[in-house]
Structure 1
Amino acid sequence: MTGLPLSAYRADDRTAVKEIQARNLLVVSCMHRAGFAAFTGDGLQPAQPPDNATALPAGPWGYLGAQAAATLGFHPPKRTLPRPNAAPAGSGEAYDAARVDCDRQAAERLGSPPATGTDLVARLFDESTAATAKDARVVAATGRWTACMTSAGFPATAPEELPRKYQSTPEATPAELAAARADADCTATSNLAGVWFAALAGYQRQLIDRNAQALTAQQEAVRAQDTKLTRLLADEANG
């Protein structure tokens, strides 16, 4: 999804990591000023890319990736969550109040692109996806996918049915893995993913043309926010 035309108008994973880093540095500095010199980031979010584990290679476009199909099925990979650090000595009401205030101050300093632009991008993503589902080329490719899956012994009228069917179990079952492998094979032979993403990109380009002024402003706001985060990180690193 990150390669789609509308993705250029929202923050990427790199910017998301910078925002977490900047927020954490601001909170740590604030806590030190509040008198908690031992605070090193207890309970703060790890500075790592957003968790895309739930964004399985399965969707209305079919299933992408034979290896994932054979090992994951329609279940997201298990995550090992970082263990929260223990609260420092002397924590209590004063510590909690300082944490709340420092979180507030960090959020105020960081800010964010205008909500109207962010909401617009989300709405246009939804509109392009809805248009793609009705596209005659996508409907035809989905029909080929359905026929292939039926021949493979896993009848389904749409790819979205399979995750809903198989994710009800705690672990991927052998039947689920077999269905996922068939999904990946049928996605390839029907070219469903190729057709689906090409159609989606086309609709997004049309929507970008119709909303060029607002989207240009949003893109500039996203870039300005990234520059601000870079400056904050440099300032905090230099003390």
Structure 2
Amino acid sequence: MQAIRERRLWTACAVLLAVISLEGCSDPAGSQKHNAAGDSSSVAVSNAEPSIPPLIPTENGDPSKPVDFEGGGAVVRADGSMILPLDTYISADDESTIVRAENALAQKCMQAKGIELPKSLALNTGPQAPAPYVLYGLIDIDSAKIYGYREPHPIKSRNDSASPDAKVTPAVEQAYFGDPKRDDGCAGQARRKLGGQNARTLFTYVQELRSQSLAATNRDGRVTAVVSKWSACMRESGYDYPNPLAPGHDRSLLGRGLPVPPGATLPPPSPAEIAAAVTDIKCKRRTNYLQTAALVSAAYEQEIIAKHASELRDAQAKQRLKLQESKEILQGG
């Protein structure tokens, strides 16, 4: 259904970044072809590898000790969360406010057509930046022992309390989405009311810059070296993967040995999958993979921020205006 496809657009950036990261690790040269603009010439980083602070010892690689450090512009917490320089430019609360204002505008548009906006089409939160494990692979051994390579803490659907999509009739879809080529439905009109004709938002711009940083990170000699060490460590236990994202995409590993439940696409995490996941994290700890990747990513993000300071300031100024207008709409202005 088109409604489902529309909601998936919110996670398009996360999928793109995951592809860049996966392909960049296994094919550093090829990753240049997958930056946000689709053109390797737009990568806004220099050829010189930026310096990073010395790595912090990792408790002899003990995987039961969570990665927890701060330095070089990177923060990695014991709960698996991570803050890098570009993260400071976006706010989940601000994005949620803007989306709720777009919902209000779309509702008025739909009512003018004599249609009530179905709850299943109304988002409550804005686009979400990809979680660290999406970009760097498994991080927490406690979660790996339970979930294997699955999402450790599934994000509750923005529409879990909404009416079933079955209530979205073709007429409602047409009114809300309109012609996909012209984006002339109520949803598109609401977005343009707040953001103008330019579809790029502060969030999407930050994700474009983040993708450039990831592409550069995965080409960086320090990262390719630690990825090679991780691969060698995994091979010692019988696993042959080119990079830390590959196991989570291996459908022959996910749920290995267990049947697929009715209605599911994969078996649940099996002992075989969990064993691989635990080995994965042990190898990450032994090679200092996560700390290296985080510090190198932070260094490239800082370089990109410096080169795009003017554009980022402009995007932030537009975001502030958009946020203020959104608040006025939600207050009935």
TM-score where L is the length of structure 1: 0.75
Distance 2:170 2:226 in 1: 60
Relative to structure 1, the CA distance from residue 120 to residue 231 in structure 2 (aligned partners, 3 Å threshold; closer, same or farther) is same
1:96-152 CA distances to partner (integer Å, 9 max, x unpaired)?
776555435423322269456756544432221122112232233223322332233
If each structure's helix is expressed as a fraction of its own residues, which one has the higher value? Answer: 1
Relative to structure 1, the CA distance from residue 214 to residue 85 in structure 2 (aligned partners, 3 Å threshold; closer, same or farther) is closer
Which residue number corresponds to residue 44 of structure 1? Answer: 121
Does structure 1 residue 211 correspond to structure 2 residue 308? Answer: yes
Which residue number corresponds to residue 16 of structure 1? Answer: 95
The answer to whether the 8 Å contact 1:132/1:203 transfers is yes
1:53-98 CA distances to partner (integer Å, 9 max, x unpaired)?
x857254x3421113212222233496663427759xx996x6776
The runs of 5 or more residues in structure 1 that have no matched partner are: none
- Larger RCO, structures 1/2 (Cα 8 Å, 6+ apart): 1
Aligned residue identity for 1:156 = Y
Q: Shift of the alpha carbon at 1:34?
A: 4.7
Relative to structure 1, the CA distance from residue 219 to residue 175 in structure 2 (aligned partners, 3 Å threshold; closer, same or farther) is same
Distance 2:278 2:167 in 1: 46
The answer to whether the 8 Å contact 1:113/1:221 transfers is no
Which residue number corresponds to residue 143 of structure 1? Answer: 228
Does structure 1 residue 176 correspond to structure 2 residue 284? Answer: no
Relative to structure 1, the CA distance from residue 86 to residue 135 in structure 2 (aligned partners, 3 Å threshold; closer, same or farther) is closer
Q: Shift of the alpha carbon at 1:188?
A: 2.1
Does structure 1 residue 111 correspond to structure 2 residue 187? Answer: no
Structure 1 or 2, whichever has the larger Rg, is 1
Q: Shift of the alpha carbon at 1:202?
A: 0.2
Relative to structure 1, the CA distance from residue 188 to residue 115 in structure 2 (aligned partners, 3 Å threshold; closer, same or farther) is same
Which residue number corresponds to residue 249 of structure 2? Answer: 164
Distance 2:87 2:92 in 1: 11
Distance 1:48 1:222 in 2: 16
Relative to structure 1, the CA distance from residue 78 to residue 199 in structure 2 (aligned partners, 3 Å threshold; closer, same or farther) is closer
Which residue number corresponds to residue 22 of structure 2? Answer: none
Distance 2:108 2:137 in 1: 47
TM-score where L is the length of structure 2: 0.56
Distance 1:127 1:105 in 2: 31
Aligned residue identity for 1:44 = L
Distance 2:173 2:139 in 1: 46
Which residue number corresponds to residue 212 of structure 2? Answer: 127
Relative to structure 1, the CA distance from residue 219 to residue 51 in structure 2 (aligned partners, 3 Å threshold; closer, same or farther) is closer
Distance 1:162 1:71 in 2: 16
Relative to structure 1, the CA distance from residue 109 to residue 117 in structure 2 (aligned partners, 3 Å threshold; closer, same or farther) is closer
1:139-190 CA distances to partner (integer Å, 9 max, x unpaired)?
3322332233223332333212212224775123321111111112221222
Relative to structure 1, the CA distance from residue 111 to residue 186 in structure 2 (aligned partners, 3 Å threshold; closer, same or farther) is same
The runs of 5 or more residues in structure 2 that have no matched partner are: 1-80, 179-184, 255-265
Does structure 1 residue 27 correspond to structure 2 residue 106? Answer: yes
Distance 2:275 2:311 in 1: 46
Q: Shift of the alpha carbon at 1:32?
A: 4.0
